[in-house]
Structures are given as C-alpha cells and as structure tokens.
Structure 1
Amino acid sequence: MASLFSSVLLSLCLLSSPFLSNANAKSKLGFTADLIHRDSPKSPFYNPTETSSQRLRNAIHRSVSRVFHFTDISQKDASDSEPQIDLTSNSGEYLMNISLGTPPFPIMAIADTGSDLLWTQCKPCDDCYPQVDPLFDPKASSTYKDVSCSSSQCNALENQASCSTEDNTCSYSTSYGDRSYTKGNIAVDTLTLGSTDTRPEVQYPGSDSGTGEGNIIIDSGTTLTLLPTEFYSELEDAVASSIDAEKKQDPQTGLSLCYSATGDLKVPAITMHFDGADVMLKPSNCFVQVSEDLVCFAFRGSPSFSIYGNVAQMNFLVGYDTVSKTVSFKPTDCAKM
C-alpha cells in the first residue's frame, strides 16, 4: 500500500484550446504545457526540509482555504482603505513557464483553471509585493498595448473593469476571499507557451463534459475534491462500507475517512459522471498518504462550492476546447511525457 501512494506529487497534464498557436506545435490539435507542482524541486517554493507527508498536509489545508477564492467578491471592493495583504503564490498548486511580450520575457506563473484573469506585476510599480524575479517592463515589449474602454477585453471583465475618461484606457481590480487584491491596466501582448513535443494524440469522443451549465469547478489550484456536504456524507458512507478495514482518525488534516497504510487496503473503484462523460479514477486519484502509516480519502464536504481538485486530475491529459466549450480527460502517464 505504501508504494501505491508514495508519490502523490505527480505531474498534472494540460491540453488547452486547439485554435491557439505556439512555436513548437506540430499539428492543429492545440498545445500541451508541463505543469510544475509548487512542491516540486523545480518550483521556487520547494522546501527540501519538508517531508512528503508535510507537503501533503499543507496542500490539504490550502484546499480548505481555497474555497474562499470562489466567494462572491462583487461585494468586496479592493480599496486602499482596506487592510493590504502581500500576495504570494504559495496557494497555487501548479506553476508553468510562460513568456510575455516581444522579445519574450520569461515568467513562472500559477496555472489556475479556477480563475479567469491573467496578471503579472509590471514596471513601474510603487506598491508591489516583494518579488525575487525581475518585473515585466511594458515599455520593453514592442507588442504591448493598453486596451480601450470599448474593447472586447474590457467588456469581458464586466464589474471587474473600470475606465479612465482622461486617456480612454481600461483598468481592472480584483479582490480574493482572503481580502488580498490585484489591480492595474488591461492590455494585450504576445503570450508564448512552450509545447511538449512528445504529447499523445487526444481522442475529445466519450470524454467530453458537454456544454451544460455545470455544477462543479474543475480547478488545478485545489488539492482535494470538494462536494456538497450532504452528498459527500452519502459518498463517504458508501466508500467506507466497501472497505474491509478499521477507520483511523487524522485530526491534523481534518479528513474524516482514513485507514492504516501498513496493510493491503482494497479501495473501491470510483467513477465521476460528467454530462456526456464517465471518468474512471484510480486509487491514487481518490486516496492520499498523509503519513507513513495513514492514508485518507481525498474528498471532503463543502458548504458552498463543489471543486474537482488536482489529485483527481493526476495522470490525466485534461483538454480545454474553448471553441466547442468542452473539457476532456484522457488517462496518461505524465512521467513518460
């Protein structure tokens, strides 16, 4: 059992919109991008003194606080009179290397499918949070351009955008559930994304989520899968009734369904039923090893939002088709890509 859950920080694969282009793409299927877990040795947040169990426990606690990211921010104004909190990237679970501007300026950014805004700190900035890497300089990019108030980009942000009557430029202001915020100009520029040359063909039949309204957020920034409290209770009871082992307690993470990892634990098969798709999960998508002798169910109840977390997405090629408005899942060994 220990070998099954010993590597919980596997890569998460991502396939994005097929109509976007990139320098290394060799077909019209779109592009793939490698995602770097925040606790990976390739991440600037990697702490070599932490054990795998400590990293996982921290990720579980971040999942709980992550729910506040999706709270109704329309009632929270990002004004200077509010307490200001330094923004850090510690809550982002996966990072990716991108380049912005012409010539390309490298940036390591959070790959967050739970947010709709791409932003980075820019020069000049008198009130930025401390950043080790250099700031992006808009004046150094020949393709940078502020957008007007009547632009489609400005209109797309709706209540997050505001306009300057002096120079007809569009600005944004976004606050988050922890009362931190970001604000600045809305602009267009060249975004360069690398692509994996060895990516497999994606076959978008039998694995599309459909175009319905949906009732769950597919989020790369949350570790656990969070479900409505009452529904989760029924799920937990069903999972527990099919496991022939004594339940254990883990007060440090708050996960309620845990078992000893020292024995041969047989866990049930779980299938996520999306509109038009069934996604079959492996045991490593459903249970995580929180210590040397304890494994826990990687699902949890939530009184507000339902979130499909990144543990459930591990070793899947996740495709986002913004033309047909579908999401697809293809089982993949990300370590071999």
Structure 2
Amino acid sequence: MASTLIFSLVALISIITVPSSMSSPKASVKGFEVRLIHRDSPASPLYNPRATRADLIKSSGRRTIARQNYFNWLMSNKTWSRYSSSYVWAPIDQSPGDYIMRFKVGTPEVETFGVFDTGSHLTWLQCEPCERCFSQTIPIYNPASSQSYEKAMCGSVVCNTASGARCPNPNSECKYEINYMDGSFTEGDVATETVTLQDDGLSGSISLQNIIIGCGHSNVDTTAGYPAPGIVGLSRQPSSLVSQIPLHRVSYCIPSKDKGNHSSVRFGSAAVITEEETQTSLLSGQYGLYQLSLEGISIDGTLLNISRSVFDMTGDRGGVFMDSATTFTLLAFDAFIEFKLGMMNALSDFKPVTDVDGLFPLCYDYHSGFRLDITPEIVFHFTGLDFPLGDENTWIVNSEGNLCLAMSLNEGSSDYTIFGMYQQQNVNVGYDLDNNIVSLKYGDCE
C-alpha cells in the first residue's frame, strides 16, 4: 500500500548558486533532483511507530476528504476568514499530503521540511517570534539568525507576486494570509530567503537565492500529533517554487509498495517530460492548479455513458485536476455513478462487500476467489492520451483484508474530478509549464 512505502535518498546535482546581489526572485539554475519521503515511512520525521496498518489506511482516507474540503474552498472563489461566524473546524488528523520534502533555509542553513503540494501557491514555514504556533518535531525557524532573510515591502515585485499577500497600508511590510476550510491557517511576513536542496551531504547541494517564502508567525494546524512545519508550494502560480526557477518544469515518479523504495522530484532541465505519444494538454484553467482535459473513461474497452461536460469546467464547477496531496482519485458525481455501475457489471460474478471503515465505495472479499488478474481494464481517455490504470493503481487492501477500489465520489458541490497520487504510482509524471504539457508514462521509478 502507498502509505507503507519507504523511500531512499537520491543524489543531487553539483552546487550551483546565484549572486547575492540578484534582485529577481527567480533563481538561475538549470536542473536538480530531490528525494521525496512518504510521511508514514520510518525515514519521515512524521513517522508514528505505533500506527497500525488499519490506522494508516484510515489516515490516508481522511486526508483525501480533507483535500476535498480544500478544493471546495479554493473553487468557491471566496475569501475565507477564521473570524467568520460560519467558519467550520474539521476533525483532527486532517493534514494534507502523503509526501514531504526536506530542505534547508537561511544563511547559515537550518534544516526543515514541508508537505509536497502541487495545489499550494506559496512555500511557507513557521517562524519565530511566534504569536501562535503549533508544535513541530524540529525547532521553529528564526529568521533573525539568517543573513539572507529579507522582508518584502508593499508595492514591491515580490509582494505583488506572492500568493495570499496583503498590505495593511501602501508603505508597510508585505504580509500574507492563507486560510483553509479545515480550520488551519497561516499568517506572517512575505520575504525572500535562500533555500538549499540537498541529499544530506552524499553528493552535494544546490542553493536557490531570493526565493519568495511565507514566514508564518501565527499558525494553526488541526492535525493530531506533530504536523509538518509548513508547505512546499508547487502550483502554477508565480510564487510557487517551480515557477521561480527558469525552465518551469517539474516531474516526479512514485513507486508502489512492491516496486522499490526510490522516489524523487526533479526540477528544471532535470525534469523528465516523456515522448509526445505519452503527453496530454495542460489547460490554462483557474486557481493555479494542474488541470487536464478528460474526454471519458472506459471499462474493458467499453466507453462509459458519461457526458463530456461532466469533465469540463464551467465557471467554478467541474474540471479535472492532477494533485500531489490527494491520495485517492475523486470522481465527479455523474462520472462516479456510471463508473461504479460499470465496475459492478464487469464483476457481476462476485458480490460486493461493505468496507468496514467506510472509506471505499466498492470492495470484494479476497477469499471468495476474487483476484486482481480477473479485474477489468480501466482507461482514462485524456485528450491525445489513453491512460490505462494498472492493478496496483486501482485496488487497495483494506483493514479487513478485502480488495477495494481505491477511488471514490467527490461529494463537493463544485463537482470536479481529482486524479490522486495512488493512481499516479509507477508513473513518471512530468509538467512542462512553458509549453502546457503533461506527460504520463509507466516506468521504473528506481
């Protein structure tokens, strides 16, 4: 299962820095590679050795629901304030994202880490002095100790670029505020800082100067235990990490449990954008998300009776998005109803059983003769690309040992579809933002 993956270090490219006098937030680098760590791996600073396999499955499911809430808020196109009387606090254990990325920040360097998130627009971390901070497993970053930290002023290029920026008055320091519908929020200073990505000294590091960050002095995370100190924002917005690096390309390759233990993300010229026949268009879309054009879904060669309009975006409804912080794929209502019916018809020789955890909508008793080698082929038909789902991308063993479909219904009112990380296993996923291309190709993620 994806939540039990253990990932190893990968080498980075040689040290590359840019002049300290550089005024642009963009770092002059060509390409580099960094490891990703599953949050439930023993290599993760968020690892809980007491968590059972059932606990991990439930946590993954709850994170998918929390991510759905985030997308609902994002697509509602509203300014959500925690001071609102209608503010809703979510249950605990809702921290988004299955993967984290280590990095160092400041001069001298201080090690930290954040959730790897293609749906967030700004890289932020908790900072001293804390007006309100949540507990974390490492010391909270103190920008006063860094020679390269510089607050942004209102009216500056940095302030105008940063997502979530606000100015109390035109001559003040630039602030940011990000509120999440699950009750989490972060507020603080917009700044530029040196961010260093490395492989823990095995093969060098790369320093990115004048990177826009959010330094959060007032933060709340509703997660039980110790959440990540912040977020590594990798959306298409100008203030994301990938957008601040020339050659706006990023790729990652996540193996399934039985395919090895190597996972990495590559930036710039190091990103792997595979050949044309594996590509589909990256739509301009809204919200800075990675939006794709999906034309339909087929089961065993039969195209399901789903209107194309179900996958198109109209106003603040619909659309199909790739996301690194959603575990299991969520289908829009009409698509899910047809998909579930099609799967049940294709597996009519077997009787579905109820998932005791209430996370998965279609499960079969593994002891009744149900096997992966008899399951139907599922193909997502993106524009110009027919993408089949492998068995390991489709089915998951639940806490009772039954095989369950690792996709579910999006119950949000915006009726969108999210293609989650479980369905991206064993696939090199490449984004070329300059040419509006997404490439999806199965391969060895070693």
Bucket of the pairwise TM-score, normalised by the shorter protein: 0.7 to 0.9
- 1:16-44 CA distance string (max 9 Å, x none): xxxxx96469xx97333322111111122
Structure 2 residue 128 is the aligned partner of structure 1 residue 123:
yes
Question: Residues 164 and 86 (structure 1 numbering): CA distance in 2 closer, same or farther, change over 3 Å?
Answer: farther
Q: Which runs of 5 or more residues in structure 1 are unaligned?
A: 1-5, 14-20
Deviation, 1:87, is 9.5
Deviation, 1:285, is 0.5
Give the structure 2 partner of residue 206 of structure 1: 277
Distance (whole Å) between structure 2 residues aligned to residue 219 and residue 197 of structure 1: 14
| Greater RCO (CA < 8 Å, at least 6 residues apart) | 1
Give the structure 2 partner of residue 312 of structure 1: 423
The residue type paired with residue 411 of structure 2 is: P
Which secondary structure does the structure 2 equivalent of 1:71 belong to?
helix
Structure 2 residue 39 is the aligned partner of structure 1 residue 41:
no
Deviation, 1:253, is 2.6
Deviation, 1:53, is 3.3
Given that 2:397 and 2:403 are in contact with CA atoms closer than 8 Å, whether structure 1 keeps it comes out as yes
Give the structure 2 partner of residue 113 of structure 1: 118
Distance (whole Å) between structure 1 residues aligned to residue 80 and residue 272 of structure 2: 44
Given that 1:22 and 1:192 are in contact with CA atoms closer than 8 Å, whether structure 2 keeps it comes out as no
Distance (whole Å) between structure 2 residues aligned to residue 184 and residue 88 of structure 1: 24
> Number of residues paired by the alignment?
320
Give the structure 2 partner of residue 221 of structure 1: 325
Question: Residues 8 and 165 (structure 1 numbering): CA distance in 2 closer, same or farther, change over 3 Å?
Answer: closer
Question: Residues 306 and 124 (structure 1 numbering): CA distance in 2 closer, same or farther, change over 3 Å?
Answer: same
Out of 298, 316, 336, the position equivalent to 2:406 is 298
Given that 1:208 and 1:277 are in contact with CA atoms closer than 8 Å, whether structure 2 keeps it comes out as yes
* Greater percentage in strand: 2
Given that 2:97 and 2:327 are in contact with CA atoms closer than 8 Å, whether structure 1 keeps it comes out as no
Distance (whole Å) between structure 1 residues aligned to residue 67 and residue 338 of structure 2: 23
1:165-204 matches, cutoff 5 A? 165=169, 167-194=171-198, 202-203=273-274
1:1-337 matches, cutoff 5 A? 9-10=4-5, 23=14, 30-72=31-73, 74-79=78-83, 90-157=95-162, 160-165=164-169, 167-194=171-198, 202-203=273-274, 205-212=276-283, 213=285, 214=291, 215-243=319-347, 244-262=349-367, 263=369, 264-265=371-372, 266-304=374-412, 305-334=416-445, 337=446
The residue type paired with residue 209 of structure 1 is: T
Normalised by the size of structure 1, how large is the TM-score? 0.82
The residue type paired with residue 44 of structure 2 is: S
Given that 1:224 and 1:311 are in contact with CA atoms closer than 8 Å, whether structure 2 keeps it comes out as yes
Identity %: 31
Question: Residues 99 and 10 (structure 1 numbering): CA distance in 2 closer, same or farther, change over 3 Å?
Answer: same
Deviation, 1:333, is 2.9
Q: Which runs of 5 or more residues in structure 2 are unaligned?
A: 17-28, 200-263, 286-290, 292-318
Question: Residues 166 and 151 (structure 1 numbering): CA distance in 2 closer, same or farther, change over 3 Å?
Answer: closer
Question: Residues 7 and 101 (structure 1 numbering): CA distance in 2 closer, same or farther, change over 3 Å?
Answer: closer
Distance (whole Å) between structure 2 residues aligned to residue 201 and residue 260 of structure 1: 39
Given that 2:59 and 2:93 are in contact with CA atoms closer than 8 Å, whether structure 1 keeps it comes out as no
Given that 1:86 and 1:180 are in contact with CA atoms closer than 8 Å, whether structure 2 keeps it comes out as no
Deviation, 1:202, is 4.6
Distance (whole Å) between structure 1 residues aligned to residue 93 and residue 192 of structure 2: 24
Given that 1:60 and 1:253 are in contact with CA atoms closer than 8 Å, whether structure 2 keeps it comes out as no
Which secondary structure does the structure 1 equivalent of 2:43 belong to?
coil
- 1:234-260 CA distance string (max 9 Å, x none): 111112222242211113133221112
Given that 1:93 and 1:221 are in contact with CA atoms closer than 8 Å, whether structure 2 keeps it comes out as yes
Distance (whole Å) between structure 2 residues aligned to residue 236 and residue 86 of structure 1: 28
The residue type paired with residue 338 of structure 2 is: E
The residue type paired with residue 279 of structure 1 is: F
Deviation, 1:94, is 1.0
Question: Residues 116 and 250 (structure 1 numbering): CA distance in 2 closer, same or farther, change over 3 Å?
Answer: same
Given that 2:89 and 2:182 are in contact with CA atoms closer than 8 Å, whether structure 1 keeps it comes out as no
